[in-house]
Amino acid sequence: MKLKKVFSCLCSVLLFSALSLQAFAKTNEQALTLSPVSLEEYPLYQKEDRSASAYIVMEATTGRVLYGKNIHERLAMASTTKIIGALMVLEQENLDEYFMVDSDAIQVEGSSMGLTEGDLVSLYSLACGMMLPSGNDAANAAGVRLYGSIDGFVEAMNQKAEELGLSDTHYVTACGLDAPDHYSTAFDLAKLTRIALQNEDFAYICSQSNMKVKFGDPPYERWLKNYNRLLELYPDCIGVKTGFTDDAGRCLVSAAERDGMTLICVTLNAQDDWSLHAFLYDKCFESYSMTPLPDIPSSITLAGDKLQENGIESELMLKPAYEAFVPLKSGESARLTATVLCEPFAYAPAQPGRVYAQTLFSLDGYPLCSVPMIASS
């Protein structure tokens, strides 16, 4: 039986109030929103020295978890902390405006982009310094510039995490140095990275092995080198961020792209993280492919004064707002079901581009993704 016919047989229509549909749509602000459907414990290595305390592979467009272990365990995450900090910096205006760094903020242990007292630097250069050489000085300098103090930056980072739904993440330091109650999870880091990669500046910076930036007194050009060796070791790698402290161990958040599929991988406390990420990517790219979802026939009743006066009921045919693709293994397409969520009726005339319904796709009964439905004509 053809896939489209299978969906037509399985499709059911649920009626929701306008408020319910709006609430549903609000929780699905991304084009596609996925829950962990096929979360698997996968035996990666037999040798203990190559194990990871936690890991996850997530498809970036949809958020589907492809593989994982201890994905919700709260662990120290070292300088992968800087992912949210760099994103917050790059969301600011006047990124190329130069200012003098705070002399106290840059006095910090650990990795550095090389800031010294009296240096003039831009927010964009600081974001590069945070992401490539993992500059603790860059993170602190950005925090003081934007929020008046490092503590103020940390508070803003926690507020941002709450807004993004990172329920198992808490920051104590701006740069990722070890501290009690400074933690995240593999799942939260993957979710955060999925959001961050939608920022063009962030995606570009984290994909660069080297970048030329200007700072100093006066500013002059210099090169920053990326600590993320996976950019050179794995041809499909497009980012993202390394991290290491004594408590956290080796932490790595990366992303890779092949054949139209973008994957995000997170490992926490993994000694051989380069090999582990490459292994996971090869496994997922081999097992999954981006598969188009079928067009589910659906409609909604139009209501209005003129229609009621003439005793006419008009059905507005709906279509997907875009062609949606999801990562599926061979054979999973046959196990998908679709449910159309819509209001009881809509007022005429039909409005082009308005979302009248959502088609919710599920795999083996677990919510997979939702696709907005608009008027077909």
Q: Which residues have a catalytic role annotated?
A: 79, 82, 134
CB within 8 Å of 341: residues ≥ 6 apart: 14, 16, 21, 24, 357, 358, 359, 360, 370
**C-alpha neighbours within 13 Å on the C-beta side of residue 56:** 28
Distance of CA 370 to the CA centre of its chain: 17
Query: Token pair for residue 134?
Result: 């993992």
Q: Which two tokens stand for residue 197?
A: 């990669």
SS3 59: strand
**Phi then psi dihedrals of residue 47, to 5 deg:** -75, 130
Look at the block and give the residue holding tokens 């053809």.
Answer: 2
Q: Under a CB-based contact definition with an 8 Å cutoff, are residues 285 and 77 in contact? A: no
Strands 12-15 and 336-342: parallel
The β-bridge relationship of strands 366-375 and 65-69 is unpaired
Instruction: Report the 10 Å Cβ neighbour count for 309.
Output: 8
